[in-house]
Amino acid sequence: MDLTFTPEEQAFRQEVRAFVRDKLPASLRHKVVNSLRLTRDDHVMWQRTLHERGWGGPGWPREHGGPGWNAVQQYIFEEECAAAGAPRLIPFGIKMVAPVIMAFGSPEQQKRFLPDISSARKWWCQGYSEPGSGSDLASLKTRAVRGFDKDGDHFVVNGQKTWTTLGQHADWIFCLVRTDPQAKAQRGISFLLIDMKSPGITVRPIITLDGAHEVNEVWFENVRVPAENLIGEENKGWTYAKFLLGHERSNIAGIGISKREIERLKRVAATEMKNGKPLLEDPLFSAKVAQIEIDLMALEMTNLRVLSDEANEKAPGPAASILKIKGTEIQQAITELLVAAVGPYALPFKAENESDEEGDIGPRYAAGLGAHYCNMRKLSIFGGSNEIQKNIISQQLLGL
Amino acid sequence: MDFSFSEEQHQLQDAISRFVQGDYSFERRHKILKSADGWSREVWQGLADLGVLAMNIPEADGGLGYGPIETLLAMQSAGPALLCEPLLDSAVIATALVRDFGSPEQRAELLPAMGGGERIVVLAHTEAAGRGQPVWVETSAKKSGDGYLLNGHKAVVSLAPAADELLVSARMSGQPGEADGVAVFRVSKDAPGLVLKAFKTLDGRRAADVVLTDVKVPAASLLGAPTTSATAAIDRALDIGLAALCAESLGVMEATVNATIEYLKTRQQFGQPIGRFQALQHRTADMLLHLEQSRSMAYLAAMHCNVADDTQRRKTLSAAKVVIGNACRFIGQQSVQLHGGMGMTEELNVSHFFKRLMAIELSFGDTDTHLQRFAALTQRDIPLAA
Ligand SMILES: Cc1cc2nc3c(=O)[nH]c(=O)nc-3n(C[C@H](O)[C@H](O)[C@H](O)COP(=O)(O)OP(=O)(O)OC[C@H]3O[C@@H](n4cnc5c(N)ncnc54)[C@H](O)[C@@H]3O)c2cc1C
């Protein structure tokens, strides 16, 4: 057993660190480390910066234009980016649809779609969930009927997707659609790539409890999709979706983000005063911070064990579920302590559409913490809720 | 022992429940929140007509002379409506302070007007560095001519923008943290030198930071008699407010738990209502445990908020705030979680319950503050030698 990173890995870490230090604009870093809302341009700008360095698809193999990093390198990359306050990469293109296109798409699809993903020329969103199908995703109803006419082979899509994250910015959506209503739930599903500018698509905002417009409803009314946008085989979409869900584990635990957030928490708690002393010296508060830090140490080790298994080609099991549950619990717990640290100054609130001028209500770092806490409740709901992850652990890992 | 309520108390409870269900629907509240003021005079008058604003005012002062149990029932019944009017701030806290500390003339001038809905008064007391400790007052009052000059900064004063006048605590002598030397002044909201930095809070209400720069007030604006420090009276008024806040949270938590149970019965996934999954059944059972423990503590708090023995009163109220703070967090978080994506939307009432519960947890001193206060107060009870 050896817990140290190799000299090559350490050199790699330095390389990433130096790059991010040089290239990340201070204004963007400020937004990220204070959980202020990012614009589409902010994300695109950072994705392009990485792309120019050849790091646009950090998990991609060389043959598809990626850097060809192994799991440990990807982990180090994500950790350094998070620590430096870089925006998290929007996963839908890079981490979700791209690996599916690489594994199951045709060479034409790979040539057509992949370069626009790593360079952020096209923004992707994920169309899985439906109003009636969340945890029970296989029950989805959006219908795609295949047909041939003078304009060729195509699907006609009708239905509704929901919770589509940042769909308002998207150029493309990857969807699970039902192509065989007769088959058993998982069997009659196909994986379609749909141009968001297609006639018949309507995007409606859903405003979340923190006042933000981050998710959307997407309606499909007789939307025509060329058959060349079908990934792999018809009715095999569930297999591809499952591949996707199990694919990306390098950042599921959010270790780098949590480390940065704990630093922020300590900065805030060192500034806030209680009984004339810094809050961080209050025994009750500092014990809570310490507990989170310790939990995070353990999770980091667990994460590295999973990565090392993966690097040794051991079958990836439901370990991702452990990383997801514990990682999101830690991230949420940090937001609770941040709110507790600033007390009532976590309550002043500005909706997204209101001016972002710095008011002088409370300390600067307090603005947005309350909304951030509210927004982070999503971590235990999306991407397979923590309850569903526990079902997976008890069924697949424990055989119960 | 008797945990039942009188006929009259039930009627009060019913009247308020009917009022908020009829005149304060979710949609109406939404409209009110969006208006420029963010609260409604019309609703306020409606509450006055119901007698709610006069319940804490003695009959001798033109009120109904009810006690803390009626306040409990009123706040609990109003809780689910998430009122954005200053019921707690004016009709409970400021009323208690004027009633118990004001001079006879001040009582005569203020209480009937407050009870009738014509005058809204809010206590501006808490300061940023105080972190929920009632005696932390840095704001200063200096004698100047025949009046006083006030200087200081009051933090996140709930519903201050709705008030006609503020009761501002200020230190005439001594250091922050000391009980002696604090006075309370009546300050008109448009007094020169007083700046209200108004804002919305996460739970939809209006609040303000109140900045006082050489605000000149006449001697007669001093509340009560100039000889006694106001800290004990403020402390008691805040405890009465804290008990009322506990009662409100009880109403909000009941509504939250009910909404969640209802959702678990109707939302279908995997071909059955999600309430069939044992993991969720046990979670909901835990929510109910928190709720019932909170109910007990809200009752206890109501029955103790008037106790003259400071130690006993504070111990009980801190205990209540700890139990209820933890419950607010658990019930709030789980209600969102069990609603899945729907729980995250502004459209559903649970997300608003969640935010109110969060705000309650942070108000009047957070859970840690009260846990530590309770610990400090009870350590003295332990006999040191066997
Ligand atoms: C902010 C946000 C962004 C999202 N972004 C996207 C996106 O971009 N694209 C997309 O396709 N989807 C997205 N989602 C949807 C997300 O994946 C779903 O919300 C999630 O799968 C849960 O589904 P649901 O909301 O329908 O909840 P439900 O499935 O109705 O679940 C309700 C509750 O029941 C529990 N539950 C359900 N079944 C079981 C069971 N068998 N055992 C125990 N407990 C159970 C759940 O854990 C949850 O607590 C997003 C969601 C949110 C909140």
- CA A157 vs CA A143, A205, A219, A313: distances in Å: 6, 21, 10, 39
Convert the pLDDT of each residue in B167-219 to its tens digit.
Answer: 999 999 999 889 899 999 999 999 999 999 999 999 999 999 999 999 999 99
Convert the pLDDT of each residue in B61-96 to its tens digit.
Answer: 999 999 999 999 999 999 999 999 999 999 999 999
State the pLDDT at residue A247: 63
H, E, C per residue of chain B: CCCCCCHHHHHHHHHHHHHHHHHCCHHHHHHHHHCCCCCCHHHHHHHHHHCHHHCCCCHHHCCCCCCHHHHHHHHHHHHHHCCCCCHHHHHHHHHHHHHHHCCHHHHHHHHHHHHCCCCCEEEECCCHHHCCCCCCCCCEEEEECCEEEEEEEEEEEECHHHCCEEEEEEECCCCCCCCCCEEEEEEECCCCCEEEEEEEECCCCEEEEEEEEEEEEEHHHECCCCCCCCHHHHHHHHHHHHHHHHHHHHHHHHHHHHHHHHHHHHCEECCEEHHHCHHHHHHHHHHHHHHHHHHHHHHHHHHHCCCCCHHHHHHHHHHHHHHHHHHHHHHHHHHHHHCHHHHHECCCHHHHHHHHHHHHHHCCCCHHHHHHHHHHHHHCCCCCCC
Instruction: Say if ligand 1 is within 6 A of residue A388 CB.
Output: yes
Residues in chain A with CB shorter than 8 Å from the CB of B202 are 346-349, 370-371, 374
State the pLDDT at residue A351: 64
CA angle B24, B26, B31 (to 5 degrees): 80
With a pLDDT cut of 90, the percent of chain B lying above it is 88
State the pLDDT at residue B2: 78
Convert the pLDDT of each residue in A15-67 to its tens digit.
Answer: 999 999 999 999 999 999 998 889 999 999 999 999 999 999 999 999 999 99
With a pLDDT cut of 70, the percent of chain B lying above it is 98
Convert the pLDDT of each residue in B240-251 to its tens digit.
Answer: 999 999 999 999
Q: B215, B191 in Cβ contact below 8 A?
A: yes
Chain A: give the shortest CA distance to residue B54, in Å: 29
pLDDT of residue A356 exceeding 60, the answer is no
Convert the pLDDT of each residue in A300-350 to its tens digit.
Answer: 999 988 887 776 666 556 788 999 999 999 999 999 999 999 999 999 987
The predicted model gives B134-154 an average pLDDT of 94
Supply the mean pLDDT for chain A: 92
State the pLDDT at residue A252: 87
Residues in chain B with CB shorter than 8 Å from the CB of A339 are 358, 362
Pick the residue with more confidence: B265 or A383? Answer: B265
Convert the pLDDT of each residue in B331-342 to its tens digit.
Answer: 999 999 999 999
State the pLDDT at residue A128: 96
State the pLDDT at residue B227: 73
pLDDT of residue A103 exceeding 60, the answer is yes
C-alpha radius of gyration, chain B, whole number: 21
Q: Quick one: how far is CA B143 from the chain centroid?
A: 32
Pick the residue with more confidence: B289 or B11? Answer: B289
Report the candidate in B84, B65, B70 with the shortest Cα–Cα distance to residue B24: B84
Residues in chain B with CB shorter than 8 Å from the CB of A167 are none
State the pLDDT at residue A3: 77
| Beta-carbon pairs below 8 A across chains A and B | 131
State the pLDDT at residue A274: 86
Instruction: Say if ligand 1 is within 6 A of residue A328 CB.
Output: no
Supply the mean pLDDT for chain B: 94
Q: Which of A83-97, A215-229, A301-315 has the lowest mean pLDDT?
A: A301-315
Residue minimizing CA distance to atom 37 of ligand 1: A135
State the pLDDT at residue B385: 62
Chain A: give the shortest CA distance to residue B145, in Å: 33
Distance CA A110, CA A232 (A): 12
State the pLDDT at residue A80: 96
Convert the pLDDT of each residue in A110-129 to its tens digit.
Answer: 999 999 999 999 999 999 99
What confidence tier does A178 reach under pLDDT thresholds 50, 70, 90?
very high
- Yes or no, beta carbons of B329 and A336 under 8 Å apart: yes
State the pLDDT at residue A330: 98
Q: Best of A96, A377, A385, A389 to mutate for ligand 1, by most ligand atoms within 8 A of CB?
A: A385
What confidence tier does A357 reach under pLDDT thresholds 50, 70, 90?
low
pLDDT of residue A283 exceeding 70, the answer is yes
**Which of B354, B362, B363, B373 is best to mutate for the A interface (most A CBs within 10 A)?**
B362
Residue minimizing CA distance to atom 26 of ligand 1: A134
The predicted model gives B242-264 an average pLDDT of 98
- Yes or no, beta carbons of B344 and A381 under 8 Å apart: yes
pLDDT of residue A246 exceeding 80, the answer is no
Instruction: Say if ligand 1 is within 6 A of residue A373 CB.
Output: no
**Which of B127, B268, B344 is best to mutate for the A interface (most A CBs within 10 A)?**
B344
The terminus-to-terminus CA distance of chain A in angstroms comes to 32
Q: How does strand B147-158 pair with strand B140-144?
A: antiparallel
Chain A: give the shortest CA distance to residue B184, in Å: 22
Convert the pLDDT of each residue in B22-43 to its tens digit.
Answer: 889 999 999 999 999 999 999 9
Q: Which among A284, A349, A387 has the least Cβ separation from residue B200?
A: A349
State the pLDDT at residue A37: 87
Residues in chain B with CB shorter than 8 Å from the CB of A370 are 202, 358
Instruction: Say if ligand 1 is within 6 A of residue B337 CB.
Output: yes
pLDDT of residue B384 exceeding 80, the answer is no
Chain B: give the shortest CA distance to residue A248, in Å: 22
Q: Which of A218-222, A318-322, B29-33, B49-53 has the lowest mean pLDDT?
A: A318-322
The pair phi, psi for residue A63, each rounded to 5°, is -60, -20
pLDDT of residue A220 exceeding 60, the answer is yes
